[in-house]
Amino acid sequence: MILMCPPLRLGKTPEERAEFLRRAGTMEVKTFSTATPADWSDQEVEEARVFLDAHGLRVGEFSGFHGGFGSANREDGQAALQHYRRQLRHARILNAHCVGFSIVCDRCTPQMWSEETWRRCVAAVKELTEEAERVGVDVAAHPHIMSPLCSVERHQSLIEAVASLRLKILMDPVNLTWPHLFYRTTELVNQIFDELGHAIVAFHAKDVTMSAVKRNGGAHLSVVHLDEAVPGAGALDYATILRRLNALGHDVTLQVEHFSPEETVVGQQHIRQVAREAGVHLH
């Protein structure tokens, strides 16, 4: 089952809760993505669960990424693990679908793709999955080409090295679109699902655009530039994505991310239209 799962802020006050319900109704969803702010106590999370149950709503992807995860700096690495331990505890209380995490240590440096960095990241994921197994909540790894987790092959290596049933994938094909793949997104999508589909439990939905010439002052430079866009405004093959998601045989959340509420609705409408044309039912 594909669960449309937009990012929504739950809040604490009656006014915030009313706005939350209004947005969920406007977006026509029963599942949403969120993360608890740092000042929320376990008791407040338990109260939020009662509120959600009363309105027939559920947390899907529970993701508040921490940039220190896998860091060579021990204090940063431990702070990240503490952050995710709290995320897991709150996700358990809320009956969330999964906890997403990112591996961005050494990002945008020559070290980010090194074997040394990769071994350190694998060790951090092993420690995280031990906690996930104890709590009973899945953790899902989120990729980006400008990070250690930069490819389908790296995802495969991570799953094999960690060997935990609680380790899943939060897939984002836009984040894995290198420039040479821009006109080959169907090929990329099929590779992702052929090799990783069994582990994908959450999906980030956006689109990708490319410009080959950027103006720099009075000159033109032939520099390829990729950017994210609202679903429907780029080259990503959503018909294939939705058919492959639908064929997985397990629940997957689908989050249109990084956009204003209005743009999120536009992106969701595009995805729903493609789904109707492809004969795929969205929840």
Where do the structural domains in the chain lie, given as residue ranges?
2-278
Long-range contacts of 66-71 (CB under 8 A, 24+ apart): 66/101, 66/102, 67/102, 67/104, 67/105, 68/105, 69/101, 69/102, 69/103, 69/104, 69/105, 69/121, 69/124, 69/128, 70/103, 70/105, 70/117, 70/120, 70/121, 70/123, 70/124, 70/125, 70/148, 71/105
Mean pLDDT over the full length of the chain = 94
User: What is the spatial distance between Cα 134 and Cα 55, in angstroms, rounded to a whole number?
Assistant: 29
The whole-number average pLDDT for the span 220-235 is 85
| Gap between the terminal Cα atoms of the chain | 7
Collapse the DSSP code of 133 into the 3-class scheme (helix H, G, I; strand E, B; otherwise coil) and give the result.
helix
The pLDDT of residue 64 is: 87
User: What is the spatial distance between Cα 273 and Cα 239, in angstroms, rounded to a whole number?
Assistant: 10
The pLDDT of residue 213 is: 58
Collapse the DSSP code of 59 into the 3-class scheme (helix H, G, I; strand E, B; otherwise coil) and give the result.
strand
Q: How distant is the alpha carbon of residue 210 from its chain centre?
A: 22
Low-confidence winner among 139-148, 194-203, 215-224 (lowest mean pLDDT): 215-224
The pLDDT of residue 219 is: 59
Show the tokens assigned to 15: 């006014």
What are the two backbone dihedrals, phi and then psi, of residue 228, each rounded to the nearest 5 degrees?
Answer: -85, 155
The whole-number average pLDDT for the span 260-276 is 96
Under the banding of pLDDT at 50, 70 and 90, the label for residue 220 is: low
**Higher per-residue pLDDT: 223 or 46:** 46
User: What is the spatial distance between Cα 183 and Cα 226, in angstroms, rounded to a whole number?
Assistant: 12
User: What is the spatial distance between Cα 165 and Cα 159, in angstroms, rounded to a whole number?
Assistant: 9
For 57-116, the pLDDT digits (tens) are 999 999 889 989 999 899 999 999 999 999 999 999 999 999 999 988 888 888 999 999
User: What is the spatial distance between Cα 95 and Cα 104, in angstroms, rounded to a whole number?
Assistant: 27
Under the banding of pLDDT at 50, 70 and 90, the label for residue 189 is: very high
Show the tokens assigned to 78: 């431990």
What CATH superfamily classification does 2-278 receive? Divalent-metal-dependent TIM barrel enzymes (3.20.20.150)
The pLDDT of residue 225 is: 84
Let me know: does 227 contact 159? Beta carbons within 8 Å. no
User: What is the spatial distance between Cα 131 and Cα 127, in angstroms, rounded to a whole number?
Assistant: 7
Has residue 181 got a pLDDT over 70?
Answer: yes
The pLDDT of residue 151 is: 95
Has residue 214 got a pLDDT over 60?
Answer: no
The pLDDT of residue 106 is: 85
DSSP 8-class letter at 56: T
User: Percent of the chain, pLDDT > 90?
Assistant: 86
Under the banding of pLDDT at 50, 70 and 90, the label for residue 283 is: very high
The whole-number average pLDDT for the span 117-122 is 94
For 7-46, the pLDDT digits (tens) are 999 999 999 999 999 999 999 999 999 999 889 999 999 9
